A = this chain, B = another copy of it.
Amino acid sequence: MKKTTRILLGHGSGGRLTHNFIKQVLLEKLKNPILGELADSAVINYKEQVAFTTDSFVVSPLFFPGGDIGKLSVSGTVNDLVMLGAVPEYLSLALIVEEGLEQKILERIICSVAIQAKNSRVQIVTGDTKVVERLAADKLFINTSGLGRLISSRRLSLKGISPGDKIIITGNIAEHGLSILAKRKELGLNFNIKSDCASLNGLIIPLLRITKAIKFMRDPTRGGIATTLNEISEGSGLGIILEEKDIPISPKVRAASELLGIDPLYVANEGKALLVVEPKEAQRIVAVLRKNPLGRNAKIIGTVKKTPRGRVVLRTAFNTERILDMLTSDPLPRIC
């Protein structure tokens, strides 16, 4: 029988085991010249405006249909940079590992980080590994921080939003959250829903290069599109009317949401963006998005209005209206 190699506290000691782990697992899978220097910081030569972001990932389970914590850790931070109009370039990778985690699980996740970094054209240039004793963490948490150059000196900002602007979603909603929920064994469900987890630079960056009509972007992760649209309305001091009938959602996700009694407007996405755009270019932007597989279900789903100030209104399929608030409690903890 093959022995299972487990992570020991010594892997986080900073000593020999840490060194071997870094060399044999991390450097091997993530190799690039900057990381290879193994210095305390990566040094990057910049001449432009730089976006800087951080995100920790605590998703449970570690593996889910459509992805895993490694893929998510890269795409989540890549997307945060893209939302600012920055081309993602450099990521850090910090692991907090529970003692006793099987090393092959960790290696599988690092492979996934490496693949997603390659596909997203970013380099992991600095890192950190900590190991905590059994039960002091749940298997693995990952933090990635990221740097990217802004492609334009014109900043995307909530302040640029005006009444009449259109709201676009780049595709079907609620897939990430529902894939996690379905995967959690205690529910015994099998909806066969895949997470939408994806890096959005390939979809969004080319678009930013061909139009100046995009005023603001945000990825609707925790709290779903309802929460993100509330952030946009609060931050801009304007109202948003959301058309329920126009919100793209797959039949599977709709059925699963109804069965579980969950409102998909509040469920996390990990490969979607909300765009606020000038009305005259909205249709063209949707058409461009749809040419990319990651944007093939893009739709205009709402309009910015003067009132109600700072609120989001959902116009339902039955033509009634109701205020859509932010998520107030967490029906789905550890979704990302």
Nearest CB of chain B from residue A4's CB, rounded to whole Å: 19
Q: Contact between A43 and B143 (Cβ–Cβ < 8 Å)?
A: no
Ranked 4 nearest A-B pairs via Cβ: A14-B222, A15-B327, A13-B330, A41-B53
CA distance A42 to B41 in the complex (A): 19
Q: A333 is contacted by which of B12, B43, B49 (Cβ under 8 Å)?
A: B12
Q: Contact between B56 and A128 (Cβ–Cβ < 8 Å)?
A: yes
User: What bracket does the count of chain A residues touching chain B fall in?
Assistant: 35 or more
Interface centre among A47, A49, A54 (most CB of B within 10 A): A54
A81 within 8 A of B: yes
Q: Contact between A138 and B136 (Cβ–Cβ < 8 Å)?
A: yes
Q: Given A15-B330, A40-B81, A55-B128, 11 other A-B contacts at CB below 8 A? A: A15-B328, A38-B235, A40-B79, A41-B86, A41-B146, A46-B46, A52-B126, A56-B128, A56-B130, A130-B334, A137-B138
Contacts of A266 in B (CB 8 A): 15
Q: A54 is contacted by which of B53, B94, B141 (Cβ under 8 Å)?
A: B94
A74 within 8 A of B: no
Query: Nearest residue in B to A221 (C-beta to C-beta)?
Result: B14
Q: Contact between A50 and B40 (Cβ–Cβ < 8 Å)?
A: no
A-B contact pairs, 17 of them (CB 8 A): A10-B328, A10-B329, A10-B330, A13-B222, A16-B326, A38-B235, A39-B157, A41-B53, A41-B146, A41-B148, A42-B53, A50-B147, A54-B126, A92-B145, A94-B145, A137-B138, A143-B143
A126-165 interface mask toward B, CB cutoff 8 Å, 1 = contact, 0 = none? 1110111101111001010111101000010100000000
Q: A94 is contacted by which of B50, B135, B143, B227 (Cβ under 8 Å)?
A: B143
CA distance A43 to B150 in the complex (A): 8
Q: A222 is contacted by which of B18, B86, B95, B148 (Cβ under 8 Å)?
A: B18
Q: Contact between B54 and A43 (Cβ–Cβ < 8 Å)?
A: no
Q: Contact between A333 and B15 (Cβ–Cβ < 8 Å)?
A: no
A19 within 8 A of B: yes
A172-197 interface mask toward B, CB cutoff 8 Å, 1 = contact, 0 = none? 00000000000000000000000000
Query: Nearest residue in B to A48 (C-beta to C-beta)?
Result: B46
Interface centre among A45, A53, A79 (most CB of B within 10 A): A53
Q: Contact between B13 and A90 (Cβ–Cβ < 8 Å)?
A: no
Query: Nearest residue in B to A125 (C-beta to C-beta)?
Result: B52
CA distance A94 to B145 in the complex (A): 9
A60-84 interface mask toward B, CB cutoff 8 Å, 1 = contact, 0 = none? 1000000000000000000111011
Nearest CB of chain B from residue A290's CB, rounded to whole Å: 24
